[in-house]
Amino acid sequence: MRRIDTAFLPETLCRSVVFWVLVWLAAPVQAQDFVWTPGLQRVYTDLQKANVQPARQLLAREPTHNGIRIFVDDYADMLTLVTSDDDQLFATWSDREAERLDGLQSLDDTSPWQRVLQAEVRLHWAFIKLKFGKEMSASWDVIRAYKLLADNQKRFPDFLPTYKSLGTLHIMIGSVPESYSWVASLLGLRGTIQQGQQEISRAQRDPVFGLEARLIDLMVRAYVLRFTEADSQTLQQLIRANPDNLLLHFFGATIEQKNGHSEQALTYLNARPTAASYQPIPVMDNILGDIYLQKGQYGTATRHFQRFLSTYRGRNFLKDSYYKLFLCQWLANEPDASARPLLVQVTRVGRQAVESDKAAQRLAEQYLKRSPSAQQKVLMRARLAADGGYTDSALAYLRPYTEARFPALAEQIEYNYRLGRIYQRRNAPDTAAPYLSRALTLADSPAARQQNLSFGASSALQLGYIYQQKNDRTRARSFFEKALSFKRHEYKNSVDNKAKAALGGL
């Protein structure tokens, strides 16, 4: 840069020139508050794969005065905490959220990154806090993240990184059960599932968050909407294109298992990268245990659950794992003396922060009060096999039985529901519909309504899907509305979300 000689300038003009030169020199520094350096791009790519160890080594070389570094550093902590569930580490690192938010707020507020990254940090910690049972604090983080993203959308409507998390939040808001929608409105949270989907689709064009947006879109389809064969193919292509991405293999497995494709989930887990540099994810053994339990391979399932319990240091999924160990013993017809203590252990360990642990606690208490019957063992074997997509085995368990063989009303309802779902999974909707209709009729009786069973609402939802596929919109709508009419049951939020989304699609 050429030297400015001020010797011949009047004093006032000299000061003015010096002032504007300093402003000019300072301007690029402010613009450098948010820079995706080549090193940070590599770090973020590694973290998205759960390749945490080399990412942290690279991160240590990056300048600290950079909002992108603050965000990426936080992302690494989030991955470590949610995969380890380490309470001591959470207590040690819990102050980092405020430190990072303060750091981001001190940077250039005219940059579209400033609010987006504050929102991302808040969402990281919301996810962390949910895993550690801090629901109230997590909720406030979500609310503040929403307001930051909504403000950023108004200021910078064409800034694509805003839409990945804003779209996710709009879907969450649109999925809120009707009885709680007034709370969202009171807090200034507004959004619909359709709006959120459009925003996530838009975010997929972003070079930074595009991969994450594609995964979120698939997870929304799996957990809120309806996961189709085309969606499964898209997921396979995404994982095939990223063979070294451990997180994609993990989430792909959870999505496929959730949607009754456990054999595909097993394929993803068996093909996952296993280098020592990847972040350990102990819960994968819990998932593998689930799959082998569904397959009826109780010895292999037991080994995976035991490996999970021996390597995991957190407090989530403990109740779930001991309950599944009980199922392995009980379904293998082992003596009650070896199976029953596992139910007692369910009530003594861990916490109830995740849904599977809550269900395990409830069932363990129920079975300890009254031992499950032989008929319940048949239904459990069929349920597990059907949930995994092993419909041949599921049918083989139920074929020797009729509704009359099940004396309890709840068992009769479940018997019909299980058969209906099995045939539905086998692409035989005309065979499935009568069983689902029978389950719905029984579940709609006053005696069954008092038990708050989930089978009635779930049967109505699946009948809605069957008639939606037949393009019988009137009957489909009536069944989706029927699903919403069941006021209290175990899967109320999930069923209602899906029914509302389907009605919106009609």
3-class DSSP state for residue 232?
A: helix
Quick one: pLDDT at residue 100? Answer: 96
Quick one: 257 and 288 in the same domain? no
Quick one: 56 and 190 in the same domain? yes
Quick one: pLDDT at residue 151? Answer: 96
Residue 389 lies in a domain: no
What is the reported pTM? 0.83
Quick one: 193 and 151 in the same domain? yes
Q: How far apart are CA 441 and CA 444, in angstroms?
A: 5
Quick one: pLDDT at residue 502? Answer: 85
Quick one: 263 and 297 in the same domain? no
How much of the chain, in percent, has pLDDT values that exceed 90?
A: 69
Residue 19 lies in a domain: no
Q: What are the tokens at 409?
A: 């009303």
Range of the domain at 348: 282-372
For the cut 60, the answer to whether the pLDDT of residue 291 exceeds it is yes
Query: Looking at residue 278, what DSSP letter applies?
Result: S
Quick one: 250 and 187 in the same domain? yes
Which helix (H) or strand (E) segment holds residue 104: the answer is helix 96-105
Quick one: pLDDT at residue 181? Answer: 62
- Find tokens 């989706």 and name the residue: 480
- Per residue in 153-187, pLDDT (tens digit) is 999 999 999 999 999 999 888 876 555 565 566 56
The CATH number that applies at residue 339 is 1.25.40.10
- Per residue in 31-77, pLDDT (tens digit) is 478 999 999 999 999 999 999 999 999 999 998 889 999 999 999 99
Quick one: pLDDT at residue 18? Answer: 33
Quick one: 69 and 215 in the same domain? yes
CA 443, chain centre distance (Å): 29
Quick one: pLDDT at residue 186? Answer: 58
Residues present in the chain in total: 506
**Span 489-503, average pLDDT:** 82
Number of domain units in the chain = 3
Residue 219's nearest CA partner among 207, 204, 233, 231 is 231
Helices vs. strands in the chain: H and E counts, helices first: 28, 0
For the cut 90, the answer to whether the pLDDT of residue 487 exceeds it is no
The CATH number that applies at residue 224 is 1.25.40
Quick one: 99 and 119 in the same domain? yes
- Find tokens 């689930």 and name the residue: 290
- Per residue in 84-135, pLDDT (tens digit) is 888 899 999 999 999 999 999 999 999 999 999 999 999 999 999 988 888 8
Residue 10 lies in a domain: no
> 228 or 494: which carries more pLDDT confidence?
228
**Span 135-162, average pLDDT:** 94
Alpha helices in 132-282 (DSSP H): 135-155, 161-174, 181-186, 193-203, 210-223, 229-240, 246-258, 262-270
